[in-house]
Amino acid sequence: MPGKEPAGYWDWLQKQKPQPLVDASTIRAKDDWIRAGKRAFRDLDKPPTRTGDPALIALARNPASFEGVRAQPDGSVLDVRWVVTDTGVQLTTTECGSCHLQVLDDDTVLIGGAAGRFASEAHMTPPGVPVRRLVATALTQQFEGDPFRVAAWRAASTPWAPDARVEHLKDEAVKLGPVLAGIGGGVVFRTNGSPYFGAKIPDLHILHYSRYIDATGTHRLRGPEDVARYAALINSADSMDFGSYQILTPEQRHVRYRYADEVLYAIGTYVMSLEPPKNPKPPPANLVTRGEQVFKREKCAGCHPAPSYTTGELTPALGFDVPFDHPNFGDIRDRSVGTDPGLALRTRKGTGFYKIPSLCSTTDRSSASRNCSMLRVSIQITSARAGGRLALRKARSRAWSS
């Protein structure tokens, strides 16, 4: 950010030529891939948000745009980046780092962290730089030819079972800002999901404990290659077909950009190497012992065995009947715990299932429950279970109204 740059940095940057983010010719071992992936995870940018607009670049060079912002130790800020292109230096936004950076209560930034405060909520992004405008531009580029409202609708439409609220996104009377901006706490509206069944930003430190990617287990996870394939798909190559339904127009089905294989593989290797951080405020030993006794008595380990505290399997959402010929039948539990069916049955993320989550690093999560409707894990847990459905204490809801 201005004022934190090394002397002559801006002039030096203008003279640079594009360089690969990950140079595979220099990599000799797995640790090299992890280091390269860490850098790529933080610095990879979203090409559709790139702009050479002199007015926007001037804003990003103006110290007034950064008033009140807390810079990172290296002088950078979150969400925005400079990128050297064939046509010069452009302003852009981060790809992985726009969502998968958790700001903890002490303002420490945890790369790949769980759902929590957004960077803007923690005053770590410049208020004078229109990041949301750049992201909105990327959405309209993805849905070429659509006005922003129609693009938002297309991102969530379920034509086989239309949701009236989603259909109304095309209406001028609907204020899109409050609907699409999210509710904080790490809940977001994802393409193929719904603003009314929000998705929780996952904790990537525990991803390697799972057998599947996404809350609803949309893709298999067998190693960093699957992470790379998934990233390539969702960022630039998703046709958004759902069964016989084609969501996109023929013009929108073109792949407009593609990240290099070595970049995505490096990111996958880095993410799969992450481990959950230890609890910085461990509870008293006697309380841990009591909790362990309850955990064993209630047979929690049936789904959440140590040391990963998950079997990595799938559990049916409430109301979903699992077909016996399901191709992943061996990974499916034969019992539902009454999980809200919204995301799993009423969106294009729908598989009928949710992953059994790992209980590791729950101390870093600012919200609990599949849709972050509970403020803390302690609010969610009670001693009552009936008919396979978890009884929850009443708590202030943080989910979208339905």
In the chain, which stretches have pLDDT less than 50? 383-402
How far is Cα 197 from Cα 217, in angstroms, rounded to an integer? 16
Flag whether 344 is in a domain.
Answer: yes
Q: What pLDDT, on a 0 to 100 scale, did the predictor assign at position 370? A: 61
Q: Are 381 and 369 in contact (CB under 8 A)?
A: no
Q: What pLDDT, on a 0 to 100 scale, did the predictor assign at position 400? A: 34
Flag whether 57 is in a domain.
Answer: no
Flag whether 50 is in a domain.
Answer: no
- Indicate the angle between helix axes 261-273 and 30-43, nearest 10 degrees: 100
Flag whether 197 is in a domain.
Answer: yes
Flag whether 58 is in a domain.
Answer: no
Q: How many domains does the chain have?
A: 1
Q: What is the pLDDT of residues 148-179, one digit of tens each?
A: 899 999 999 999 999 999 999 999 888 887 77
Q: Is 194 helix (H, G, I), strand (E, B) or coil?
A: strand
| Amino acid identity, position 321 | D
Q: What pLDDT, on a 0 to 100 scale, did the predictor assign at position 379? A: 56
Flag whether 215 is in a domain.
Answer: yes
Q: What pLDDT, on a 0 to 100 scale, did the predictor assign at position 384? A: 44
Expressed as residue numbers, the domain containing 293 is 21-45+96-121+131-402
224 Cβ neighbours under 8 A, 6+ residues apart: 33, 265, 268, 269, 271, 272
Flag whether 361 is in a domain.
Answer: yes
With CA atoms as reference, report the closest residue to 358 among 293, 246, 275, 285. 275
Tokens 């559709």, residue located: 48
Flag whether 73 is in a domain.
Answer: no
Q: What pLDDT, on a 0 to 100 scale, did the predictor assign at position 380? A: 58
Q: Are 42 and 110 in contact (CB under 8 A)?
A: no
DSSP calls for 333-380? -S-------HHHHSSTT--SEEE----TTGGG-S-BSTTS-BSSHHHH
